[in-house]
Structure 1
Amino acid sequence: MARFNTRAAKAQPTSRVTSTGRVLRTFQGGRGHERDARSELFLLAVSNFVSQQTFYETGADRDDRFARLVRELAVTDPAWTAGLLGWLRGAGNLRTASVVGAAEYVKGRLEAGASDGPSNRQVVDSVLQRPDEPGELLAYWTALYGRNIPKPVKRGVADAVRRLYSGKSLLKYDTASKGYRFGDILNLVHAAPDPDKPWQGELFQYALDRRHNPDTAVPPASDRVLTAHRELMALPVEERRAVVTAPDGAERLAAAGMTWEALAGWLQGPMDRAAWEAVIPSMGTMALVRNLRNFDEAGVSDEVAAQVAARISDPAEVVRSRQFPFRYLAAYQHAPSLRWSYPLEQALGHSLANVPALPGRTLVLVDRSGSMFYSQLSDRSELNRADAAAIFGTALALRAADADLVEFGTSSNPVPFRKEESVLKVLERFGDLGGTDTTEAVRRHYREHDRVLIVTDEQYAYSRHGDPTEQVPSHIPVYTWNLAGYRAGHGPSGKGNRHTFGGLSDAAFRMVPLLEAARDADWPWVSTG
């Protein structure tokens, strides 16, 4: 995530994403409906890649809006806001938004002198779940608010440090590319070792020595990973390549916590076939996915490639990785050879496991307008929103008992599919349809369906027929997934059978069957009873 810490039953259910009733204009001039503060923050949080540009709004504008809403709601509704931030980092799996949100939660409450609700310290601790994240939060705070770090931030970070710091995490995350090294963080927050971890005192001291006296720093003898790593680092350069070619090379690298990122520097030479084959067994699933091209260029053997394929397509591994489906689609689109295509297709299918199998007849509308193609999911992603919308819309259609899948823009067209087809085959039939006319698409294709689902960035041209949701009878639910998180949506939300969700997370998809079971869908982090 290193984005900041761098050196450089005909009951009428409700959804919680609610409109205020005030009519605004969308960025393209269409009529829009303003959302209330909580709904707007939720939508931003689950769909905004912090600091990223969008087609209609700069990253800075969206970040400012996000920060302002967090500060406001941290004071007026601290329990709800703390719940949102914890959910974002947990089930939502959105690291950056939760870290930024925690910092702004503290900032808003300190400025207002608020003391009710979840404490600042607790909220900071709750969002820090990976060893590099304490540095991320501190880097964000100091970049915006200076080096005078308040006590609640220090104490929350210290709590997280005691949970997260280990010898292995130090090797992986305490690198020279970070603005805040582990030793810097320990100096700032004065974290005392966890009493239940007697080895942590020596580890903290080593982190400090490693930062300030790297030439003389000696890892604690009690930490086998650090000791093994030091032994490898002490080997003469000319002897190192023999390690990766040895029969026990993979085991030695794993025991020493040697990551694939660090291996090339240690070898001081190219990552050839032997080097990759030695480190592949200890690589994580998504690291394997990101390096498929490197494996092919190095000539990794078919036997090892088969092991990689088995891991990246293993259902349990896919679930454990907690990656959204578009990660696998992006990997598939850029896979260098055919030997990765089917495993990635399988992985994509596994990652869609939480998409509901909807009964009855469903109309699925996928936005393929220009703004969807021009806007990537983030500055670091090669996958655009158009393809992300298509993959989720296709998954919904394939899972549904009876579905009509439609792409729309200036015009609209049915997208044919068969139940036994893979998602990727259906995706090949989608096109680029220019402008946006969501209302006309709904009018043309709605035929007494039991529900309508729209995956879009909610930008539409004004129609004399009104907003898209008005084209559907009021007793039929209309669900909109907004990939962009703009302030004004194309229709009302949270009243009757009109529901808007931010992003394409599993949590949002799970709300559909709850709504249709005539239950009020509460926020994902609140028990519905």
Structure 2
Amino acid sequence: MSKFNTRKTGFDSGIIAGKLTDKAGKYTDYELLRRVTLANMLFESDYYQSADEIMKQMEDLCYKVEGEKIIELAMECRFEQKLRHTPLWLLILANEIHEVSVKEALAKIANRPDMTIDVLQMLKVRNGSYKMSKSIKKGLAKAFDNYDEYQIAKYRKSNMEVSLVDVVNLVHPKPTAKNELALKGLVEDTLKPANTWETALSQGADKKETFERMISEKSLGSLAILRNLRNMTEAGLSRNNIRTAISQVNSYWLTPLNFLSAQRNAPDYTAAIDEAMENCFAQEKIKGTTILAIDVSGSMGRVTSSNSKFSRMDLAFAMAAAGSYIFEDLILVFTAGSDAERKGKHIIWNGSKGLGLFTNYGKIALEMGGGGIFTYQLCEWLKDNGYAKDAERLVVISDSQDIDAHYGLVRKPDTSPYTSSYIIDISTHTHGIKTGNWTAEINGWSDKVFHYIKALEN
């Protein structure tokens, strides 16, 4: 059974408080496409829209955006927002709609062997078969230049109807010095399994001994470590061994949510996970004082997508945890309010930073009223209470369901006390709250959204 189905509509849409905010913010077609894609878990519905609606929006917008711009966006989806499926889908659309070559981009974006399998499955969803253009075929073949024996062995099996050997037989990649023997072994079914914990356990190895050996060898991947902390505990590994494993975590491909997931599975190791998170994300500080406002409205409590265990609020807090290490001086604000009274409520957080933010966040969100975000009122409150005067920038993390913008209350161009101000939107809803004097609206949920702010200001 394919993990990509042609229709995924089984997630009830909510009432969109900000459904009229397009009257307050004007977007180009390219900006709208960025909104729909950069925080998108492809083939999964979210609280506001079904997967079918999101994918139709994406396709309709691709007709209005130049093919080369779509390819650029696909690269950003993969390497900045660390998305896996969305950039591949964008390349398929760009190639089909605009007939542009996606060979080079596909070879770079499909930097894991299993992503070549994903492309075949997407083509099957799109066209009913694995038939592909010459450009896609050449791109998939060239992608194999990235893979070594370990990667090919690791992903040679698949739980889908096609496997890596099917891809090889379809696109005929040219062997390189580092993968010639692996490709030969893959086709002849003589390739030895990769040195992974899954392989070892499937062959009957002792779980405790396997984890201890791989920690000693430093051969466990960073994501595998974060995902297996509970397994390590249940297998009887010592606290020292588990802390050693966590100290080995260091990967470009990790997101703040990966660390939150690890902390929830192994709360006893919160301090060590926090330290690993800081090591991953605090390499470059953003100087000056930053006000970071987190939307804790009711819609933020809904799960990110139909297949996710995490809410939008989880995403926002995970990003805030990373931001507490990235911003040199941080003023953290929680904001929501009462929709019925059209009144916002805002509080300053003076508690711990990092993953410690999650200690009481459920209680805080409940006390804030559960209504939408009131962005105009938030900005006025920050000025009236003296927080704005010392801050270089304001950053708001939200799902863009702004009650103030809904009723026409927006920031005026001459009223901002900040050098720069940003909306970070973690939803895929077509229209956001790009109203008044905002420096930029940024879409996505990886740590790279903060570094984008630094790049803009430099």
What range describes the TM-score normalised by the shorter chain of this pair?
0.7 to 0.9
- For residues 514 and 135 of structure 1, what CA distance do their matches in structure 2 show? 35
- For residues 456 and 184 of structure 2, what CA distance do their matches in structure 1 show? 53
Shift of 1:436: 0.8
What do the CA deviations read for 1:148-200 (whole angstroms, capped 9, x no partner)? 22222111111112x14443223210115232222211221133334x56x61
- For residues 324 and 222 of structure 2, what CA distance do their matches in structure 1 show? 28
- For residues 354 and 213 of structure 2, what CA distance do their matches in structure 1 show? 34
The equivalences for 1:252-291 within 5 A come to 257-267=194-204, 271-280=206-215, 281=217, 282-291=219-228
Counterpart contact for 1:50–1:96, Cα < 8 Å: yes
Q: Aligned match of 1:428 in 359, 384, 391? A: 359
Q: 1:485 to 1:188 in 2, by over 3 A?
A: same
1:443 aligns with: 380
Counterpart contact for 2:32–2:431, Cα < 8 Å: no
Q: Aligned match of 1:385 in 309, 312, 317? A: 312
What do the CA deviations read for 1:273-326 (whole angstroms, capped 9, x no partner)? 2343234442111101101111111111344324213223xxxx2xx2431122
- For residues 102 and 379 of structure 1, what CA distance do their matches in structure 2 show? 24
Return the letter of the residue paired with 1:278.
Answer: R
Q: 1:151 to 1:415 in 2, by over 3 A?
A: same
2:427 aligns with: 484
Shift of 1:511: 3.4
Return the letter of the residue paired with 1:458.
Answer: S
Q: Provide the secondary structure at the position in 2 that maps to 1:35.
A: coil
1:332 aligns with: 263
1:469 aligns with: 411
Q: Which 5+ residue runs of structure 1 have no aligned equivalent?
A: 6-24, 211-218, 220-225, 230-255, 518-529
2:33 aligns with: 41
1:182 aligns with: 164
2:439 paired with 1:504: no
Q: 1:46 to 1:350 in 2, by over 3 A?
A: farther
2:76 paired with 1:87: yes
Q: 1:392 to 1:379 in 2, by over 3 A?
A: same
- For residues 310 and 394 of structure 1, what CA distance do their matches in structure 2 show? 18
Return the letter of the residue paired with 1:485.
Answer: T
1:31 aligns with: 21
What do the CA deviations read for 1:229-259 (whole angstroms, capped 9, x no partner)? 4xxxxxxxxxxxxxxxxxxxxxxxxxx6231
Shift of 1:54: 1.3
Q: 1:334 to 1:446 in 2, by over 3 A?
A: farther
1:152 aligns with: 135
The equivalences for 1:11-410 within 5 A come to 28-32=18-22, 33-73=25-65, 77-110=66-99, 119-147=101-129, 148-161=131-144, 163-194=145-176, 196=177, 200=180, 202-210=181-189, 219=190, 226=191, 229=192, 257-267=194-204, 271-280=206-215, 281=217, 282-312=219-249, 317=250, 320-335=251-266, 338=268, 340-353=269-282, 356-360=285-289, 362-376=290-304, 378-393=305-320, 396=323, 400=327, 403-410=330-337
Shift of 1:462: 4.7
Return the letter of the residue paired with 1:435.
Answer: G
Deviates more, 1:128-137 or 1:141-150: 141-150
Q: 1:394 to 1:382 in 2, by over 3 A?
A: same
Q: Provide the secondary structure at the position in 2 that maps to 1:288.
A: helix
- For residues 192 and 309 of structure 1, what CA distance do their matches in structure 2 show? 38
Q: Provide the secondary structure at the position in 1 that maps to 2:203.
A: helix
What do the CA deviations read for 1:368-396 (whole angstroms, capped 9, x no partner)? 011111123x4554332213223434654
Counterpart contact for 1:374–1:384, Cα < 8 Å: yes
Q: 1:94 to 1:345 in 2, by over 3 A?
A: same
Return the letter of the residue paired with 1:454.
Answer: V
TM-score, normalisation: structure 1: 0.72
Counterpart contact for 1:332–1:341, Cα < 8 Å: yes
TM-score, normalisation: structure 2: 0.82
- For residues 409 and 509 of structure 1, what CA distance do their matches in structure 2 show? 22
Shift of 1:451: 3.2
- For residues 115 and 398 of structure 2, what CA distance do their matches in structure 1 show? 32
Q: 1:272 to 1:511 in 2, by over 3 A?
A: closer
- For residues 243 and 49 of structure 2, what CA distance do their matches in structure 1 show? 44
Q: 1:50 to 1:403 in 2, by over 3 A?
A: same
- For residues 4 and 57 of structure 1, what CA distance do their matches in structure 2 show? 18
Shift of 1:30: 4.6
What do the CA deviations read for 1:417-463 (whole angstroms, capped 9, x no partner)? 26xx4323344343223011413333323344443221100002256
What do the CA deviations read for 1:466-496 (whole angstroms, capped 9, x no partner)? 3443497156433100010211112338xx6
- For residues 126 and 260 of structure 1, what CA distance do their matches in structure 2 show? 27
Q: 1:363 to 1:307 in 2, by over 3 A?
A: closer
Return the letter of the residue paired with 2:423.
Answer: T
Q: 1:264 to 1:48 in 2, by over 3 A?
A: same
RMSD: 3.0
- For residues 285 and 59 of structure 2, what CA distance do their matches in structure 1 show? 33
Q: Provide the secondary structure at the position in 1 that maps to 2:440.
A: strand
- For residues 107 and 275 of structure 1, what CA distance do their matches in structure 2 show? 46
- For residues 359 and 101 of structure 1, what CA distance do their matches in structure 2 show? 37
Q: Which 5+ residue runs of structure 2 have no aligned equivalent?
A: 6-14, 338-343
- For residues 286 and 32 of structure 2, what CA distance do their matches in structure 1 show? 28
Return the letter of the residue paired with 2:371.
Answer: G
Q: 1:41 to 1:355 in 2, by over 3 A?
A: farther
2:340 aligns with: none
What do the CA deviations read for 1:73-132 (whole angstroms, capped 9, x no partner)? 2xxx2332222222332344222121111111111123xxxx5xxx23223223211111
Counterpart contact for 2:410–2:435, Cα < 8 Å: no
Return the letter of the residue paired with 2:21.
Answer: R
Q: 1:491 to 1:121 in 2, by over 3 A?
A: closer
2:396 aligns with: 454
Larger radius of gyration: 1
